[in-house]
């Protein structure tokens, strides 16, 4: 090229000043929900300087039953930086049934050094029970009512039977009655066992504190020399004396008499030289405070009598001179060994008096 200056382009530095700008948009243009919904707001700094922005959100219609809230409302963005802010929409007046309603929600951005911007999205408010679900529910309730009516109403003009009888076995009512009878019998049996157990416990308690049968052995000694011609045993309180045997021994002149008594009944009377074992009848059983007694009667023996015999010379017999009678003791002693049982008059250990066979 002959003259390069003809195609030369002048060069210069251009100074670009600071400017602020931001854009706003929503993630979804329409959301829906019967009670609440969520969305995202995207804010981008398209300027060449750090900018401060503030977000405002509200339904477009003043009577909209919605409450909208932002997670953050103030942002500071560097050049080319963007931010995502979550947004929650809550329904303050839910619809139970009916058609859905659409509500516009406006999000406005306010900038410190630039013009404001705005973005919108739609919240579709659905009913809690959609038409399809409502129809199904109505059909279900109608079927349930029809089933109940058929169940409790007579069929074919016949009266409902109080009981149903199967092909085999008793009816339901009879089965219930049998169960009730079995339960009552079981309860009665349990009550009877409880009463028997209680009676046994009471019996044991009575036996623990009641009088018990005792073996009895006692010696009665009567002696006229010591001035005790009568020996007695008094039956203790609450008992009767069942005598099995009485063994008597006595010493004294033949004129002595031994008498044995049980209460007011005389059991035996022997001479001193003719005593023997006494068997007491079972019906004779002295009771409390009655006495079993041994008594001695010991009179003096009679004096000797004169005797006749032939004379030594062979002549007629002459009366012999009276001779003195041999002296005998005038004292008597008797012992009675009594064996038997002391039996309580009342209580669990008492026994009836058995008659003599």
CB atoms within 10 A of CB 77: 20
* Whole-Å CA distances, 65 to 29, 59, 103, 195: 19, 9, 9, 76
* pLDDT computed for residue 212 by the predictor: 82
Spacing of C-alpha 130 from chain mean position: 55
* pLDDT tens digits, one per residue of 100-121: 889 999 999 998 777 788 999 9
Query: Does residue 145 or residue 314 have the better pLDDT?
Result: 145
Q: Which of the pair, 308 or 25, is modelled with greater confidence?
A: 25
- Distance (Å, whole) CA 263 – CA 290: 5
Neighbour tally for 99: CB within 10 Å:
9
Residue with tokens 């009577």: 63
Cα separation, 299 vs 331, whole angstroms: 8
Per mean pLDDT, which range of 26-30, 334-338, 347-351 is the poorest? Answer: 347-351
Contacts of 151 (CB under 8 A, 6+ apart): none
Q: Are 238 and 345 in contact (CB under 8 A)?
A: yes
Q: Taking residues 170-183, what's their average pLDDT?
A: 84
Does the global pTM surpass 0.85?
Answer: no
In this prediction, residue 55 carries a pLDDT of 93
Q: Give me the pLDDT at residue 31, please.
A: 94
Is pLDDT of 158 > 70?
A: no
| pLDDT value of position 268 | 86
- Where does the pLDDT of residue 185 fall: very low under 50, low under 70, confident under 90, or very high at 90 and above? very high
pLDDT exceeding 70 applies to what percent of the chain? 81
pLDDT of residue 157: 46
Query: Of 339, 53, 126, which is closest to residue 219 (Cα–Cα)?
Result: 339
Share of the chain above pLDDT 90, in %: 23
Q: How high is the pLDDT of residue 299?
A: 81
Q: Judge whether residue 148 has pLDDT over 80.
A: yes
| Exposure string for 314-346, b = 16+ CB within 10 A, e = fewer | eeeeeeeeeeeeeeeeeebbbbbebebbbbbee
Q: What is the pLDDT of the chain when averaged over all its residues?
A: 81
Does 1 have pLDDT greater than 70? no
d(CA 267, CA 286): 12
Please name the residue ranges forming H helices in 79-217.
131-152, 172-209
Tell me, what's the pLDDT at 69?
A: 92
* Residue given tokens 């329904």 in the structure block: 91
The region, left, alpha or beta by phi > 0 then psi within -120 to 50, assigned to residue 203 is: alpha
Q: What is the pLDDT of residues 281-325, one digit of tens each?
A: 878 888 888 888 988 888 876 665 444 444 344 444 444 444 444
- Which of 109-113, 182-186, 248-252 is predicted most confidently? 182-186
Task: Spell out the alpha helix ranges (H) of 39-159.
Answer: 131-152
Mean per-residue pLDDT, 196-209: 80
Tell whether the model's pLDDT for residue 64 goes beyond 50: yes
Look at residue 156 in the predicted model and tell me its pLDDT. Answer: 46
pLDDT of residue 155: 57
- What single-letter DSSP state applies at residue 243? E
The pLDDT of residue 201 is 84
Residue 168 confidence (pLDDT): 57
């Amino acid at each position: 090229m002959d003259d390069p200056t003809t195609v030369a382009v002048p060069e210069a530095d251009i100074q670009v000043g600071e400017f602020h700008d931001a854009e706003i948009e929503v993630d979804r243009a329409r959301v829906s929900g019967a009670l609440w919904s969520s969305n995202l707001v995207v804010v981008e700094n398209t300027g060449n300087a750090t900018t401060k922005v503030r977000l405002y959100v509200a339904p477009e219609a003043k009577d909209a039953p919605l409450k909208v809230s932002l997670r953050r409302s103030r942002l500071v963005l560097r050049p080319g930086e963007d931010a995502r802010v979550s947004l929650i929409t809550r329904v303050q007046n839910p619809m139970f049934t009916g058609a859905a309603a659409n509500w516009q929600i406006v999000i406005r951005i306010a900038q410190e050094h630039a013009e404001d911007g705005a973005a919108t999205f739609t919240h579709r408010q659905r009913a809690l029970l959609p038409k399809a679900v409502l129809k199904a529910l109505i059909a279900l309730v109608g079927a349930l009512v029809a089933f109940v009516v058929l169940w409790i109403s007579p069929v074919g003009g016949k009266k409902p039977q109080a009981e149903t009888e199967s092909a085999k076995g008793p009816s339901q009512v009879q089965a219930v009655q049998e169960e009730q009878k079995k339960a009552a019998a079981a309860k009665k049996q349990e009550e009877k066992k409880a009463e028997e157990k209680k009676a046994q416990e009471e019996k044991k308690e009575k036996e623990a504190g009641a009088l018990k049968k005792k073996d009895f052995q006692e010696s009665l000694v009567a002696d006229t020399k010591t001035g005790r011609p009568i020996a007695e045993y008094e039956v203790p309180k609450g008992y009767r004396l069942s005598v099995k045997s009485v063994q008597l021994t006595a010493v004294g002149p033949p004129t002595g008499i031994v008498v044995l008594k049980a209460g007011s009944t005389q059991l035996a009377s022997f001479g001193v030289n003719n005593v023997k074992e006494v068997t007491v009848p079972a019906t004779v059983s002295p009771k409390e405070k009655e006495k079993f007694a041994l008594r001695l009667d010991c009179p003096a023996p009679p004096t000797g009598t004169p005797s006749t015999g032939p004379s030594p010379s062979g002549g007629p017999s002459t009366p012999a001179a009276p001779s003195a009678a041999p002296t005998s003791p005038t004292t008597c002693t008797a012992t009675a060994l009594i064996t038997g049982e002391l039996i309580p008059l009342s209580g669990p250990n008492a026994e009836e008096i058995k008659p003599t066979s």
